[in-house]
C-alpha cells in the first residue's frame, strides 16, 4: 500500500516555530480580509435588495390595505353567506382569530374569591388562556370580558398569474 507524505513541516528549533507562527498570522490576516470583503459584498447585496424591493413591498401592503378597506366597507354585501370570496387571482375574506380575554386589575382576586383558583397563575394575575373556558356571566363577575375578532387576509394565486403571462408570451 502506498504511503502518503504529510505536508506538515518538521520543526526542530524555536526559530522555525516562530517563523511558522508568523506565517500563520499572515494567513489568518489574508483569509480575514477575504471573509470581510465577502461579508461586505453580502451586506451590500442584501441592502440593495431591500432598497430595490421596498417600493414593491410598500405597494403590496398598500394593495392589501385597499382590499381590506373595500372588504370592510362592503362586508354586508360581499360576505353575507361566507367569510371568503374566491376571485380569479386570489381570495379575500375574514378569518376568525382565536378568542382572547381582557381583564381588569381585580380579575385575579375575584377569580380566587369565586373559588376559581385554577384560572389564576402563581404570579397573581388572571390566566386568560384558561379563562377562555369560562362563560360570559362568570367573566363579568370577575371584571373580565370575552373579546372576539376577525383578522383580514389576502392570498394570491400566483400560479394563475404565471399561466396568464405564459399565454401572453406564447
Give backbone dihedrals phi and psi of 91, rounded to 5 degrees, phi first. -140, 150
Q: Which residue has the higher pLDDT, 109 or 9?
A: 109
Residue 103 confidence (pLDDT) above 90: yes
42 has a pLDDT exceeding 90: yes
Cα–Cα dist 10/14, whole Å? 12
**What is the reported pLDDT for 22?**
87
pLDDT in the model for residue 168: 75
Place of cell 516555530: 17
Q: Which pLDDT score is estimated for 161?
A: 63
Higher-pLDDT residue of 134 and 2 is 134
H or E element in which residue 131 lies: helix 128-131
| CA dist., res. 97 & res. 158, Å (int) | 25
Range with the largest mean pLDDT of 13-22, 36-45, 94-103 = 36-45
- The answer to whether the beta carbons of residues 85 and 92 sit under 8 Å apart is yes
Residue range 39-53: mean pLDDT, rounded: 96
Share of the chain above pLDDT 90, in %: 58
96, 103 contact by CB (below 8 A): no
Residue 157 has pLDDT above 80, yes or no: no
**Domain parsing of the chain, residue ranges:** 13-73, 94-153
SS3 101: strand
Confidence of residue 115 (pLDDT cuts 50, 70, 90): very high
Query: pLDDT class for 28, splitting at 50, 70, 90?
Result: confident
Mean pLDDT for the chain overall = 88
User: 100 in helix, strand or coil?
Assistant: strand
pLDDT at 5: 65
Residue 14's closest CA among 3, 6, 26, 22? 22
Give tens-digit pLDDT for 51-85: 999 999 999 999 999 999 999 999 999 999 899 99
Pairwise CA distance, residues 53 & 42, whole Å: 16
107 vs 166 pLDDT, higher one: 107
Q: Tell me, yes or no, if the pTM score tops 0.75.
A: no
Amino acid at each position: 500500500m502506498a504511503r502518503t507524505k504529510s505536508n506538515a513541516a518538521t520543526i526542530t528549533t524555536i526559530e522555525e516555530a516562530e517563523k511558522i507562527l508568523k506565517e500563520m498570522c499572515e494567513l489568518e490576516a489574508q483569509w480575514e480580509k477575504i471573509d470581510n470583503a465577502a461579508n461586505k459584498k453580502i451586506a451590500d447585496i442584501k441592502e440593495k435588495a431591500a432598497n430595490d424591493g421596498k417600493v414593491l413591498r410598500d405597494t403590496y401592503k398598500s394593495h392589501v390595505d385597499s382590499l381590506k378597506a373595500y372588504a370592510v366597507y362592503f362586508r354586508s354585501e360581499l360576505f353575507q353567506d361566507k367569510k371568503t370570496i374566491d376571485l380569479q387571482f386570489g381570495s379575500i375574506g375574514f378569518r376568525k382569530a382565536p378568542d382572547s380575554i381582557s381583564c381588569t386589575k381585580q380579575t385575579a382576586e375575584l377569580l380566587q374569591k369565586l373559588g376559581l383558583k385554577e384560572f389564576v397563575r402563581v404570579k397573581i394575575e388572571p390566566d386568560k388562556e384558561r379563562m377562555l373556558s369560562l362563560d360570559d356571566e362568570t367573566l363579568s363577575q370577575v371584571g373580565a370580558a370575552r373579546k372576539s375578532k376577525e383578522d383580514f387576509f389576502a392570498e394570491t394565486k400566483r400560479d394563475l398569474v404565471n399561466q396568464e403571462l405564459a399565454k401572453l408570451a406564447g
